[in-house]
Each structure stands twice: as structure tokens, then as C-alpha cells.
Chain A
């Protein structure tokens, strides 16, 4: 019996006026998979996330979340997705806890249920002592941790993270990576991690290379390095991009 992918994208295209920013994009993420969507700035990663979360309208192709087409069952799909946007989205004038309660209310959780989940998630990201602090007083890394905790409060089965480590120091980046990889490994969560930082790929990860709106490669990082006969992921990526530019 085949497993229904957590995320399945088929032939996705998107235009901003005459400019085609996504072209025939197809790939899928299985439950428990940590998949890196690797691409330079402007590759179309954020557009892809925006289409998948109804911030932009979908025109060409199909996106399915656990088998459900987002065009027909968008609200059901959104319930199963946790999202960390590239742009910081915390309300800086509210406390950590108030931000998290707000998210729980948007997802229809009762106050008691919300309080329990907030306590658990905030503890997991090591910010229990800061729960009553205004978000404005947190460091960039701490804010990102709160955003991860928030994305998990409604217990999604698919986590979408758009450049979640931009601007973070090495320790915070490593924490984020380890935390999300752990969630995939231990809880079977599917994660799509968009980044332009090649060293975030990791040898065991699955990688989808996106360049100028097109998928150039899709597979295990180790396999890709082997196929390209490259010494590292960075070299494999650079070769892929150069070949595409030359074509």
C-alpha cells in the first residue's frame, strides 16, 4: 500500500504578470521526511510557500496536502499545516504567551487546551522563563523559536519553513535544524525547509533544488552529490546551476 504524501506538488506554475516565477514544479514530501528546498534568492521558494498557504491564488498545477487538493479543501489543508514565514510574524507589542494564545484561538482551541500545549511547546524550545516577556524584548533567535513553537500548537502533520534561519547566529541555526529534524524523526512530522544556505542540507536530507522557478534536481543529498560527481553538496549545487545557465 502506497503512503499518501504529506505534500504533493504537480506541475505548479505561477506568474506575476508576464513574469513566470514558477514553472512546472513537481515534487512531494512524505510523512516523516525532512526535505530541503534549496535555491538562491529569487528562485521562487517564497512564492511557492505563498501559493501553498492561499496567500497567492493558485493558477497552474495541483497542490495536495495529505491527498486533499488545496483548491477544493483549503481550510482542511491549512489545519494540517504549520507555517514559519521568512518574514517575522510575531506581534512585538504582545507577550510570547499572548502571541501563542492568539494563534490557538485562530485554530479554535479552548483556553485550557491552549494553555497545556503552549506550556509544552514553549518548554521544548527552552523559553519557558520568557513566556511573559514582550516579543520585542527577545533576540532574533528566540523570536524564531517562538515562531516554531507557535507553528506546532495546533499539532500539524506538515511543517513549512521559509528561510527560518536567516539572520540567526550559528547556535540558533543549529538549534532550529536539530529541533525540526528531531520532530520529523521522532514524531513523523513532514517538513519542507526552504533555504539558500547549502550547509543546512545535511548528508541525510532529501533535497529539491529550485532555480529560477524550475526544479533542477530532486533526491537524497548523497545521491545528488554522487550523480554530479561532486566533492560536496555546494559543488553539486553550483554545477547544477551552471549547467542550467549554460543550456
Chain B
């Protein structure tokens, strides 16, 4: 198998993901509307309730809407990562997963290609959100739009890999909805997406530590700093490490000899 074969295979998987995305316009709009609702209503409502002091990377007092924007971008990436994995569960139930799994390339590559294809779609949505968010005066410096790209890639990879891992462990679509509730909401709320962590620390030290350990917090912070062309090294390392762990476990989970696929077949 030559490198060109791998490249064509990835092109095919990415194209399919893109076509599916275009076919599901509702998915695109809901992916955009969800964070915009938070921005337009939630941020406006809490504008005077939650004070945001000057914390890095911000150099001045900022409106609450500016504070939550990185969290909402990470929310887009998380929902998209989970939906992409949901499509893996759907594909498995509908049978089209078999077509992917019997193609003559290593399984780790097929799963990574699927993950990367989802990442591309996620990032396009994140940029669409950033463009619309200018209406609410979310206006990072122009170079921030470029600097944020690697952060978006890394955050989308981590969240997509988590979704992939969950999809390998889930038997039916119905179960996926349950897991979504137990993963998405706790991850989102126990993070720095909606409130600075020093606020949380004042309220509960334990919750603060949970938020610190939550990889979603690091996705949010990496994006927050990158929007101002700054690197948050701890967050970058945490995201690289968690992506590697989630992806390795997902590949293991999809291995018919070892992982959960084997156990599922046995039941």
C-alpha cells in the first residue's frame, strides 16, 4: 500500500463526511444556533451578574460575551466531535461501517482518518461562528484568527477522539444519547467555559480541582489564549496527551480481537 493510497483513502473519508454534513443542513444550523443562543441570550442576561476581572490573556476589563466566546467555540467542537462519533454508531447499526472496516488499510489509519475528517468539518463551523460573533463585538485581533487554527485542530482532535472512544463502547444509538448527557453537560459546566476558575475556587475547592482536571477546560483555555496569539503550554500538553490516550483506547476498542467489538460480538 503506497502513501498515495493512504491519501486517496483519507480524501474519500473526508469527502463523505463533508457530503453528509451538506446533506444535514439542520446539523449545521443547530451547531451554529446553539452557541449563538448562548451568546445572544445567556451572555446578555449574565452581563451584569458575573464580573470578569482582568485575567490573562485579556489586558483590560472585557464584556462577559467576550469571556464565554472561547467556551462556545469549544462547545461547537465538542458537539461536532460527538455527532461525528454518533454517526459511527449509526453507521454500525446501518451496516455502512463494514464498508470502511473491510477496506485494505490498517484499522488505526481508518479510525484516525475518520477523526481528522470530523475535525475539518468542526473547524469550518468554528470559523463560521467566529464570523457571526463579530455582531456581538467578539473581535479578537486579525492575527488571532490565524493563531487559533492549531488550537482548534488540537481541541477538535481531543474531543473527536473522546467521541470515537465512546462510540466504540456504545452498543446502540439510544445509549449514545444517555452518554451524551453524562459526558457533554458535566464536561461543559465543570470547565472554565462559562466562568473563570478563580470564581469556582472561591465557591468550592473540590469543584475547582475537577475543573482543572477536565480536558475540556484546557481546550477552552488553549483557544482563549490562541485568539490573542498566545500559547497556553499546560493546556497544549494536556490536550496532546489526552488525544493520544483517547485515540489509542478507541483503536483498541475497535479491534475485533481485543476490544469491546469482540465482547459485543460474543453477546
Binding site for B on A (CB under 8 A): 15-17, 50, 53-57, 75-76, 78-79, 81, 83, 85, 87-94, 98, 101-110
Answer whether residue B203 sits at the interface, using C-beta atoms and an 8 A cutoff: no
Contacts of A98 in B (CB 8 A): 16, 19
16 additional A-B pairs beyond A16-B265, A93-B20, A94-B23, beta carbons within 8 Å, are A15-B266, A17-B267, A53-B98, A57-B255, A79-B104, A89-B94, A89-B96, A89-B98, A93-B23, A94-B16, A94-B19, A98-B19, A104-B12, A105-B15, A108-B5, A108-B6
Answer whether residue B100 sits at the interface, using C-beta atoms and an 8 A cutoff: yes
Contacts of A106 in B (CB 8 A): 9, 12-13, 99-100, 103, 105
CB distance from B107 to the nearest CB of A (A): 8
A75 touches B1 (CB 8 A): yes
Answer whether residue B4 sits at the interface, using C-beta atoms and an 8 A cutoff: yes
A98 to B16, CA, bound (A): 8
Identify which of B2, B8, B11 gathers the most chain A CB atoms within 10 Å of its CB: B8
A79 to B9, CA, bound (A): 13
The 6 closest A-B pairs by CB, nearest first: A105-B12, A108-B5, A57-B257, A106-B103, A87-B95, A78-B104
> Among the listed B1, B13, B102, B105, which residue makes an inter-chain contact with A55, where contact means beta carbons less than 8 Å apart?
B102
Binding site for A on B (CB under 8 A): 1-2, 4-6, 8-9, 11-13, 15-16, 19-20, 23-24, 94-96, 98-106, 255-258, 262, 265-267
A17 to B96, CA, bound (A): 26
A106 to B105, CA, bound (A): 8
A56 touches B256 (CB 8 A): yes
A91 to B95, CA, bound (A): 9
Contacts of B262 in A (CB 8 A): 56-57
User: Can you give 30 A-B contacts (C-beta < 8 A)?
Assistant: A17-B266, A17-B267, A54-B256, A55-B98, A57-B257, A57-B258, A75-B1, A75-B104, A75-B105, A78-B104, A83-B102, A87-B95, A88-B95, A89-B94, A89-B99, A91-B16, A93-B19, A93-B23, A94-B20, A94-B23, A101-B12, A102-B15, A103-B103, A106-B9, A107-B9, A108-B1, A108-B5, A108-B8, A109-B8, A110-B8
CB distance from B173 to the nearest CB of A (A): 15
Contacts of B1 in A (CB 8 A): 75, 108
A15 to B98, CA, bound (A): 21
Contacts of A92 in B (CB 8 A): 94
Contacts of A81 in B (CB 8 A): 102
- The residue of chain B having its C-beta at the shortest distance from the C-beta of A147 within the complex is B99
CB distance from B256 to the nearest CB of A (A): 4
B9 touches A90 (CB 8 A): no
- The residue of chain B having its C-beta at the shortest distance from the C-beta of A103 within the complex is B99
